[in-house]
Chains A and B, each alone.
Chain A
Amino acid sequence: MASIALENITKAFGKINALDDVSLEVKDNEFFVLFGPAGAGKTTLLKTIAGVEFPQKGLVKIDGEIVNHKEPMHRNISMVFESYALYPHMTVYDNIASPMRSKLYKKDEAHIRRQVERVTKMMQIDHLWERRPSQLSNGQRQRVAIGRCLVREPNAFLMDEPLAHLDAKLRHHMRGELKEMQSSFDTTTIYVTHDYMEAMSLADRIAVLNLGKIEQLGTPMEMYYTPNNEFVARLFGEPEINIFDGELTERSGELAVRAFGQAALLPVAPDAAKVLRGGEHRKVRVGIRGNDISFSFDEVPGWLRGSVYVNEPIGNKVILVADVGGVRLSLVVPNDTRAKIDQPVFLSLNMQHAIFFCAEKGTYIVRSNAAQHVSDAPGTKEEG
């Protein structure tokens, strides 16, 4: 139960900057997710907060107090490691009891027993007390590791990819369990992941890290609807967002995008057009998600013409990849769609939902109706 602040944290391993001037603030009781690809510096950042790694520059503050000089044991933080870091020579019970047996956080055995009972029941591992870590499955080990983290009442929980090594089914299940438990944590939590679904599902706020720098800081909806740049846009959503080059042209007084070398123009929503006209942009990059593309196998006038590159039935939906003038667009289509490879397909892009990026820098320019999307209440009003 504490706020955590990082100020200008810099750390290098040799010549590689693992963290490059990172500043962020995690509020009391917030569920904060650090998200990014492998090698982004997420784990290093987490360990810096825990005090087992040391920044070369910058301050770590817990509840406003600078803790750079404090030993990990005095920071009162509990952590789940990606490798679980269970004690191989101890039973599950002793592993979970360990934080309460240290001199610093000493509790009597009766209390320990109650607490271990509580968390093991919560994690559904209460039948495994006498086992050693080597006799457990990966899923069970991970739950023991989370249990050892949750058994205390620390300033903050730090969780480093706790679900990364599980198979898809178990990961899905555990994400649900975590999400449900979340409200009972009642403690500041910093959670590291590279899975966008975990990030979006669990987070109050997300920081997207890349190469040691924060790319964007905000709520899940901000990440999804108004990404700071193409990098962030590509991280969220499955299939990946389609981003293509476009050229702005005026058509009878309305702004439109010419793309794929086709005659069909893509209209720009009025509020976005205002911003785009105001800027210097002639060329833009347009991002559009797979859900926002309609398709037809019969020719429709004014629609884009392309051919089926591949189609992938994945159960509840089909991902259809269309080749439009050499650019691949992925779209989500109903699961009873059958398509032959290379057959012609006609597409219509819902430009209300397009995101415009700067052609040179790849940074966010505008999207239509941004504020409403981000408010996490898309159902209150009819969209578009």
Chain B
Amino acid sequence: MSAPTGNTYSNTETLVDTQKNKRAVTALQTFGRSLGLGLYSLFALFPLFWMVLISFKSDREMFNTLFIFTPTLENYEAVLLRTDYFMAFFQNLIVSGGAVLVTVVAGVPVAYALARYNFKHKEGVAFQILSFRFAPEIMVVVPIFLIFQNIGLLDTYLGLIWVYQLITMPLVIWVVRGYFEDISVEVEQAAQLDGYRWFEVFIKILIPLIKPGLVAACLLAFIFAWNSFTFPLVLTGFQVQTITVTSMRYIASDTVRFGQVAVAALVAITPQLIACLFIQKHLVRGLSFGAVKG
């Protein structure tokens, strides 16, 4: 609602005019908005579309066709059947999933403690955890490499899951802490008076209340872990492979096999795509705080 303007024509005219104008304006607005959104989605989705396109192109047609070509499945065959790409896919799943699991088990209690208890340097600790996200991965990866080499964690699941905590832990702790803070202490106290042990209160009352935030944070953490490139590039070798690193294999020294890279990338984004489609609603609601207030 805007403030009335200082025009001075008579009352009835004003009303009729504004109503007519309004209808025209809304129609125009609708059209304009749709056009804008259409253009934007074209712009945003085009690389994806292009990737799907070139995944069906043979190397011969890669550079001399745009939209019209003879589709072929040879890239898919090469990547999915003739290399161990699937293995990398599952190993990536283990590493990322494991990282998120560890984060939930360790991070949710940390978040609870940060939300509920008062102790010295609490905010300092909380900020320290968040600051892990600030450091560029490339800066810490070299010392970690040396340490891992010495203690034998190089190229192991455990090592990678451990390092991934730098990515996943801050996110989950900060989101879940906000959720815990939104829950009134009195709800917990009420449950205790109802005769529940602290652990039962945690499982029966608190977990359901933070669930939207937890799910959203875990999903985001999973995606960040899944997409991580620097850590696996340096810290893995032959035993453990992640798809981000494996995709690079199709860029050989003499030639880049764009078709195969495209297939690898498409396979790599499927879990995220599926997850996002299914829990999109959760994601939006979960990351906007205060959803649990009742």
Contact = CB atoms under 8 A, between A and B. Distances in A.
A58 interface: no
B294 A133 contact: yes
Interface in A7-32: none
Contacts of B62: none
B192 interface: yes
Interface stretch (B26-34, B168-176, B193-201, B233-241): B193-201
Contacts of A105: 194-195
Contacts of A134: 293-294
What DSSP secondary structure best describes chain A's contact surface? loop
Q: Which 9 A-B pairs have the closest CB atoms?
A: A88-B294, A102-B195, A104-B195, A85-B186, A85-B190, A52-B189, A99-B194, A134-B294, A81-B186
Interface string B172-211: 0000000000001011011111111100100001001100
Given A87-B187, A87-B205, A89-B209, A72 B294 contact: no
A254 interface: no
Contacts, number: 76
B122 to A, nearest CB: 14
B292 interface: yes
Given A85-B186, A88-B293, 17 more contacts: A47-B189, A50-B193, A51-B192, A52-B189, A71-B192, A72-B192, A73-B194, A73-B195, A78-B193, A78-B194, A82-B186, A87-B205, A88-B294, A89-B205, A89-B292, A98-B191, A103-B196
Interface of B: 184, 186-187, 189-197, 200, 205, 208-209, 292-294
A72 B197 contact: no
A132 B294 contact: yes
Given A88-B294, A133-B294, A81 B189 contact: yes
B193 A79 contact: yes
A73 B191 CA distance: 9
Contacts of A132: 294
A52 B208 contact: no
Nearest to A47: B189
Contacts of B196: 73, 102-104
A67 interface: no
A98 B186 CA distance: 15
A50 B194 contact: no
A263 to B, nearest CB: 59
B192 to A, nearest CB: 4
A53 B221 CA distance: 36
A52 B209 contact: no
Nearest to A13: B118
B119 to A, nearest CB: 14
